[in-house]
Amino acid sequence: MSWFKVFSAVVVANIVSWIIISIIGWLIFFVVFDSMTDFMEKKMESQLSKEFPPITVPAPSLPSRDIQRQWEEAEKDRQRKQAAAQREAEQKRAMIQKNRELCEFWQAEFSKDRTEKSKAYRDMACTRYRNNL
């Protein structure tokens, strides 16, 4: 047998043995790790059940005055939200109206003088108006 054949056989044997040992090591690791986690889970569950027994608390009964007060507060809150929504809608309508007026104004100005400045203002005002719709 030549030297190269012996060297190749030793290298291949080392690689195969390394792969086999790695697979066996991973299997042992996962078996031990899995059994250890099962053991720890059981220990934690038993310890928690001993230290903290389940507590049952009866639901408090609310007097009728508290229910009436909660209902009135909820009604006031609903009315406040409705008023805020109406104010917001009115502000939006006013903003749209103002932007429409500006757009019309700059359209008229541009039709009078035909300058680049008027055209730029018209374009910005009309774009704002279209975006608010």
The pLDDT tens digits for 40-99 are 787 777 766 666 666 677 666 656 777 888 889 999 999 999 999 999 999 999 999 999
CA dist., res. 6 & res. 35, Å (int): 43
Phi, psi at 60, each rounded to 5°: -70, 140
User: pTM of the predicted model, to two decimals?
Assistant: 0.43
Residue 63 lies in a domain: no
Number of domains into which the chain is organized: 2
Which residues form the domain of 7?
1-56
Q: Quick check: is 9 in a domain?
A: yes
Q: What percent of the chain has pLDDT over 90?
A: 58
Query: To 5 degrees, how large is the angle CA 95–CA 99–CA 103?
Result: 170
Q: Is 66 within a domain?
A: no
Tokens of 40: 């720890």
Summarize the confidence of residues 97-109 as an average pLDDT.
93
End-of-domain residue from the set 56, 73, 99: 56
User: Which of residues 56, 77, 96 is at a domain's end?
Assistant: 56
Which of 15, 38, 56 is the endpoint of a domain?
56
121 within domain boundaries: yes
* Mean pLDDT, rounded, of the chain: 86
